[in-house]
Amino acid sequence: MKKELVFSGVQPTGNLHLGNYLGALKNFVSLQKSKNCLYCVVDLHAITTFQNPKELNSNILETTAGFLASGLDPNKSIIFNQSSVSGHAELAWILNCVCRMGWLNRMTQFKDKAGKDKEKASVGLYIYPNLMAADILLYKATHVPVGADQKQHLELSRDIAQKFNKDFNHKDFFPLPKPLIQKNISRVMSLRDGTKKMSKSEESDYSRINLKDSSDEIVKKIKKAKTDADPITENIKDYENRPEAYNLLSIYSDLSDQKIETTIKEFLGKDFSSLKAKLSEILVETISPIGKDIDKLMKDKKHLEDVLKKGKQKASIIAEENLKKIREIVGFV
């Protein structure tokens, strides 16, 4: 049987938020108990949109702090930053030559992020999914915990792996990586608009719960979160046209480790103020300690740099071994 290996990454593009936590970090932590895992601060991805160098530097350390504060253990998982292992960029170039333009043209995240004026988007943003494929395939990772927003990119990684194996006549060289998407809540939505995903780059801070928000801020944001005038009803289908209501119910369910049906039963017939009160409570209980830990860890930057350095050393060993074989397969001397 093939060895299972988990790889995933988070961009150091600003405050980590509840979407990153529930969609990715929480899953990362539970996977490290039973699998070999690599978790990467994907700084090469971050610069596909301009980052102030000073802020990027601090964000790389803060994302590392977010990993540790959420429960990742550098003795169990390999924690490192992407730019420190040059194999990511090298393999990305090879995969740029494997991936087809037509495949990239279908990527919806590029369309969303580039907006109307795609001529002005960086080439890096366009080929971002190939770098993501390289991140995963460099380690021959078999499983990738991600939020549902990354599902399309992961399917592309599988297509690229398959084409590489076929083009170079090396059946099964790259395993086809499988997405691991949280069941209860695969996509945490904005608190202001239940049709948009919660995101770091959304202008309004009221659209998200940041991991570093104070208890007061969390309570205030949940109080102001958009809902509707209807009470909580039993039929799950009723929520198809109530995205904000569904989002709050899903967040509460995930944080309480219960099915959404159980949450609906708990609040049946009540209005949203009772759900919001309980949701604030559980959010403060879960998120505040993480935020406090991030602040504490950021006071010892040397420790965070050491964690990344040790992770880089471990990741480089796997990367170099695989790259050696990849260079040989491609025909480089």
Q: What is the set of active-site residues?
A: 113, 197, 200
150 binds ligand AQP, rule: CB under 6 A: yes
23 binds ligand AQP, rule: CB under 6 A: yes
195 binds ligand AQP, rule: CB under 6 A: no
Q: H or E stretch including 7?
A: strand 5-10
Dump strand ranges (E) for 26-66.
36-41
Q: Provide the β-strand partners of residue 80.
A: 40
Choice from 200, 242, 292, 314 touching ligand AQP (CB under 6 A): 200
Choice from 69, 133, 198, 297 touching ligand AQP (CB under 6 A): 198
Dump strand ranges (E) for 105-256.
143-145, 178-180
Rounded Cα distance, 72 and 70, in Å:
6
187 binds ligand AQP, rule: CB under 6 A: yes
Asked if residue 132 lies in contact with residue 179, where contact means CB atoms within 8 angstroms, the answer is no
Measured from each CB, the residue nearest to ligand AQP is 23
Residue 26: CB minimum distance to ligand AQP, A: 10
66 binds ligand AQP, rule: CB under 6 A: no
Exposed/middle/buried for residue 145 (C-beta within 10 Å: 0-12, 13-18, 19+): buried
Report DSSP state, residue 12. -
Asked if residue 74 lies in contact with residue 41, where contact means CB atoms within 8 angstroms, the answer is no
| Residue with smaller CB distance to ligand AQP, 22 or 95 | 22
Q: H or E stretch including 82?
A: none
188 binds ligand AQP, rule: CB under 6 A: yes
Of 69-77, 145-153, 225-233, 297-305: span binding ligand AQP (CB under 6 A): 145-153
| Residue with smaller CB distance to ligand AQP, 20 or 286 | 20
Count CB atoms within 10 A of the CB of residue 128: 23
146 binds ligand AQP, rule: CB under 6 A: yes
Of 6-14, 130-138, 281-289, 300-308: span binding ligand AQP (CB under 6 A): 6-14
Residue 166: CB minimum distance to ligand AQP, A: 28
Choice from 59, 82, 199, 280 touching ligand AQP (CB under 6 A): 199
Residue among 155, 41, 45 nearest 108 (CA): 155
Rounded Cα distance, 243 and 251, in Å:
12
Residues of this chain that bind ligand AQP (CB under 6 A)? 10-11, 13, 19-20, 23-24, 146-147, 149-150, 187-188, 197-201
